[in-house]
Amino acid sequence: MSPTENPRPPFPPFDAETAAKKVRMAEDAWNSRDPERVSLAYTPDSVWRNRSEFLAGREAIVQFLTRKWHKELEYRLIKELWAFHGNRIAVRFAYEWHDDSGHWWRSYGNENWEFDAQGFMQRRIASINDLPIQESERKYHWPLGRRPDDHPTLSQLDL
């Protein structure tokens, strides 16, 4: 962390409330589809595994997310807290998107997160599966950006 960076509360060790808040903050950032904004939640040397891709550092995160959101169009994401302990949080998620030929997908996955004492994520391990869906099967219809507070959760959508 650079001396000019402010800590990113909430901080570990997490409880149910602070872990859920951290999950929603991450969801909101990812739904912005702004790679620079998202990267600032991670340590400068953060280590990721995303599917079969391994990367380290914020610049690699920005490059990865830029590629991702050029491919995954109209991306909308819901994350849900699964478990937490100390400085770790486990999350399940699902997001919907379409490719440049108009085919829709729902991608499901799990993430394991590890945070430093300043609230920055230092490790992210993501396992993701893609399911082709028909446009009529979409469940996420809010305007691009932050999911509205009254939108159903993954559990409420039976996902």
The amino acid at residue 97 is W
CA–CA distance, 123 with 131 (Å, rounded to integer): 26
pLDDT tens digits, 10-52: 999 999 999 999 999 999 999 999 999 999 999 999 999 999 9
- In order of their start, the domains of the chain are 16-137 (3.10.450.50)
**CA-derived radius of gyration, the chain:** 15
Q: What is the pLDDT of residue 4?
A: 65
Contact 123, 14 (CB under 8 A): no
114 Cβ contact list (under 8 Å, min separation 6): 87, 88, 121, 122, 123
Q: Parallel, antiparallel, or unpaired for β 42-50 and 104-115?
A: unpaired
What is the distance, to the nearest Å, from the Cα of residue 35 to the centroid of all Cα atoms in its chain? 11
Residue 154 pLDDT exceeds 90: yes
The pTM for the full model equals: 0.96
pLDDT tens digits, 64-93: 999 999 999 999 999 999 999 999 999 999
54 in helix, strand or coil? strand
- What's the CA angle centered on 108, arms 41 and 73, to 5 degrees? 70
